[in-house]
Amino acid sequence: MSVTLKDVAQAARVSVSTASRALTGTGLTSERTQQRLTRIARELGYRPNPIARGLKTGQSRLVALLVHNLTNASFQVMAEVVQARLKAMGYQMLLCIGGDDPEQESDTLTTLVDHRIDGLIVVPTGKNGTQLKALAKDVPIVCLVRRDDATDLETVLADDPQGAYLGTRHLIELGHSRIGLIVGRQDTTSGRERLSGYVRALREAGIPVDDTLILAGHFVPETGATCCRTLLDLPRPPSAIFVANHEATLGALRVIAERNIAIPDDLSLLCYEDMPWFEWHRPAISIVDNGARDLANLAVDRLLQRMDAKGNGSDGVREYRVGARLVKRDSCRQIDAAPPARSGKPRSSPSRSSASKLSASKSAKV
């Protein structure tokens, strides 16, 4: 069917081994034959068979990326980044969708190593730690976005504490002191970490943490809507809401529209993670960018290095954090008439009576 190495060798009247050496450039052939063979190979349209090669070398030039889904915008850009980077390195990406389901994850993982993938970037569910650990002996693995606590795998994480801190501080600087937080489940790392960043910013500014303003849960848009309603129905509703959960944003926006609440005039809204349409929404929605692009790039970097390192390595660092970034658009507004704030960024004022207030702020119970 297709042209094999043997055909090339025959056409060039050399042995298969010579042909192989010439084309792979192992350097053990004379300059002349090498050139001659590459020419002939090109003329014949020879393409090496990765399967045969893989059988011998134990490599497949396949790298898998296992994510939960593709509806999440972050996963989309990550997939695109990973694909592009890998392709440039001569690998094919094997994109798998695990649906955040441990069983399916486990299934997929075994299929993948069956296929002798050369590397794996995975957003772990967290329930297959032992399996992952075992696989890591055979193939370089990098965890992305989530950590699997049962393993000591190299992990690339978003800096959620910092991101939440940044976002909250932004709102504080705009004069908000009652800031609602809609955040993810507290048994996920990101849920915990985003809450902690929020709390830190508040404390630093000497603002007491009000439990009633903090709502956590396993979010789908519906729950986002519910939480938003709860916040707005409070006797003293917040002047700003920080939706620190991707899925919840949709629901929150809907409630806000239903109630004819004007953003940012009546309420400031800040979201975590970007979506393509946030920029086109009116008002354009300010966000904390978790740096999906950077995360993916770093994960690929790490993976490639481990793949080069060939099993040795394990050079100490196991966890990388990628900085978050505040993207100011039009959904947050200054509410204090007090400081005219002509001059650049308002400074954060951690000194102002922070100590006295700190004791007053009870830790959030969610």
Partner DNA sequence: AGCGTTTCTGCAATCGTTTGCAGTCTATCG
Partner DNA sequence: CGATAGACTGCAAACGATTGCAGAAACGCT
> Which residues contact DNA by CB under 7 A?
1-2, 4-6, 13-18, 20-24, 26, 28-33, 46-49, 52-53, 55-57
At closest approach, how far in Å is the CB of 98 from a copy of itself? 10
* The two three-digit tokens of residue 2, written as one number: 């297709």
Query: Could you list the residues that contact a copy of itself (CB under 8 A)?
Result: 1-2, 47-52, 54-55, 58, 60, 62, 69-71, 73, 76, 79-80, 83-84, 87, 92-97, 108, 110-112, 114-116, 138, 221, 250-251, 253-254, 257-258, 275-277, 280-282
Is the separation of the CB atoms in 68 and 98 below 8 Å? yes
CA distances from 340 to 173, 336, 337 (A): 12, 8, 7
Phi, psi values for residue 359, rounded to 5°? -65, -30
DSSP states of 92-125:
EEEEEE-TT-HHHHHHHHHHHHHTT-SEEEE---
At closest approach, how far in Å is the CB of 73 from a copy of itself? 8
Residue keyed to tokens 């020879």: 46
DSSP states of 257-296:
HHTT--TTTT-EEEEES--GGGGTSSSPPEEEE--HHHHH
- With CB under 5 to 8 Å by kind, the binding choice for 33 among a copy of itself, DNA, none is DNA
C-beta neighbour count of 261 within 10 angstroms? 15
d(CA 69, CA 296): 15
Buried b (16+ CB within 10 A) or exposed e, 180-215: bbbbbeeeebbbbbbbebbbbbbbbbbbebbeebbb
- The answer for residues whose C-beta is within 8 angstroms of residue 62's C-beta and 6 or more apart is 91, 92, 93, 94, 115, 116, 117, 118
Phi, psi values for residue 22, rounded to 5°? -65, -45
Label the pairing between strands 286-289 and 325-327: antiparallel
Instruction: Report the DSSP beta bridge partners of residue 63.
Output: 93, 119
DSSP states of 4-45:
-HHHHHHHHTS-HHHHHHHHHT-S-S-HHHHHHHHHHHHHHT
At closest approach, how far in Å is the CB of 260 from a copy of itself? 10
- With CB under 5 to 8 Å by kind, the binding choice for 138 among a copy of itself, DNA, none is a copy of itself
At closest approach, how far in Å is the CB of 141 from a copy of itself? 16
- With CB under 5 to 8 Å by kind, the binding choice for 328 among DNA, a copy of itself, none is none
Between residues 49 and 111, which has the closer beta carbon with respect to DNA? 49
- With CB under 5 to 8 Å by kind, the binding choice for 363 among DNA, a copy of itself, none is none
Between residues 18 and 108, which has the closer beta carbon with respect to a copy of itself? 108
Between residues 23 and 199, which has the closer beta carbon with respect to DNA? 23
- With CB under 5 to 8 Å by kind, the binding choice for 22 among a copy of itself, DNA, none is DNA
Between residues 90 and 316, which has the closer beta carbon with respect to DNA? 90
- With CB under 5 to 8 Å by kind, the binding choice for 29 among a copy of itself, DNA, none is DNA
**DSSP structure class, residue 213:** G
- With CB under 5 to 8 Å by kind, the binding choice for 275 among a copy of itself, DNA, none is a copy of itself
Distance of CA 143 to the CA centre of its chain: 10
Between residues 266 and 320, which has the closer beta carbon with respect to a copy of itself? 266
- With CB under 5 to 8 Å by kind, the binding choice for 335 among a copy of itself, DNA, none is none
Between residues 120 and 195, which has the closer beta carbon with respect to a copy of itself? 120
At closest approach, how far in Å is the CB of 189 from DNA? 38
- With CB under 5 to 8 Å by kind, the binding choice for 15 among DNA, a copy of itself, none is DNA
Between residues 28 and 257, which has the closer beta carbon with respect to a copy of itself? 257
At closest approach, how far in Å is the CB of 23 from a copy of itself? 14
Between residues 195 and 285, which has the closer beta carbon with respect to a copy of itself? 285
At closest approach, how far in Å is the CB of 92 from DNA? 16
Between residues 53 and 229, which has the closer beta carbon with respect to DNA? 53
SS3 of 84, please? helix
